Amino acid sequence: MLTFYHAPWSRSSAIFWLLEELGTDYRMELVDIRAGAPEDYRLIQPSKKVPAIDHDGTIVTERAAITIYLSDQFPQAGLAPPINDPSRAAYLTTLVYHDAVFDPAVSAKVHGLSYISNDYSFGLYDDAVSYLERKLSAAPFAAGERFTAADVILGMGINYTMNILKGLPEKPVFKDYVSRVTDRPAFKRSQERDAELAAQVPAFQALFQGNTP
């Protein structure tokens, strides 16, 4: 049994997309992070955040770890380069880079944090933007020539940061990448369902008044 702890329109939406790509059966457990997750959820996720998964009693937290774990558990989906494949290095690097560097650097930027690179492990926002621009100009996907689970995480991150948060310049290379990786049935399916789930969340209901998806 695979249980997915999720809150719509949150960082766990990337794992929702991943699960749809994998095509495996799972049970979704909604966590109302906007109202505050119950204290006992800390036994699943120590910071009471989503996503988390429970796979036959094995709990995995953190998007990068969940992505690596699930893509290796369900290799038939072909979303993870095998251990000896040269593209595995870029695959793993992208997953961890997205969560440990890009995501916090963007948060620091949008919250106006002023700092020097050496003070924070994630370094500078401008360096992250330049790196991703170079990387995605050199190859169409995060790990090279084909779509992998790393594109679920990076694609969701760039899409959200550029199009919703407005925290990333709308460079053609980013726009083309987002178009390439989101033009997939699993992305569209998970996004449609996520909007339906968001409409049930009291914190979002004002947004939906007269405009229910």
Ligand X SMILES: N[C@@H](CCC(=O)N[C@@H](CS)C(=O)NCC(=O)O)C(=O)O
Using CB under 6 A as the binding criterion, the count of chain residues that bind ligand X stands at: 10
- Span near ligand X by CB under 6 A; candidates 46-54, 122-130, 144-152, 169-177: 46-54
Q: How far apart are alpha carbons 100 and 122 in whole angstroms? A: 6
Shortest distance (Å) from residue 10 CB to ligand X: 4
**Of 50 and 68, CB closest to ligand X:** 50
Phi, psi angle pair for 18, to nearest 5°:
-60, -45
Does residue 33 interact with ligand X by CB under 6 A? yes
- Span near ligand X by CB under 6 A; candidates 45-53, 142-150, 177-185, 200-208: 45-53
- Span near ligand X by CB under 6 A; candidates 44-52, 127-135, 172-180, 191-199: 44-52
Tell me which residue of 76, 59, 78 sits closest to 2, measured CA to CA: 59
**Of 3 and 78, CB closest to ligand X:** 3
**Of 10 and 94, CB closest to ligand X:** 10
**Of 65 and 173, CB closest to ligand X:** 65
Task: For tokens 């109302």, name the residue.
Answer: 32
Shortest distance (Å) from residue 102 CB to ligand X: 11
Shortest distance (Å) from residue 84 CB to ligand X: 27
**Of 32 and 171, CB closest to ligand X:** 32
Q: How far apart are alpha carbons 151 and 87 in whole angstroms? A: 13
Amino acid identity, residue 201? V
- Do 53 and 5 touch, CB atoms closer than 8 A? yes
Q: How far apart are alpha carbons 67 and 79 in whole angstroms? A: 10
Joined together, the tokens standing for residue 45 give 């996720």
Strands (E), the chain: 2-6, 27-30, 52-55, 58-61
Does residue 11 interact with ligand X by CB under 6 A? yes
Element (H, E) at 53: strand 52-55
Kindly identify the residues of this chain, within the stretch 12-31, that bind ligand X according to CB under 6 A.
none
Q: How far apart are alpha carbons 85 and 62 in whole angstroms? A: 24
End-to-end Cα distance, the chain: 30
Shortest distance (Å) from residue 65 CB to ligand X: 8
Kindly identify the residues of this chain, within the stretch 48-107, that bind ligand X according to CB under 6 A.
48-51, 62-63, 99
Q: How far apart are alpha carbons 91 and 14 in whole angstroms? A: 16
Residue whose C-beta lies closest to ligand X: 49
Q: Where on the chain is the footprint of ligand X (CB under 6 A)? A: 10-11, 33, 48-51, 62-63, 99
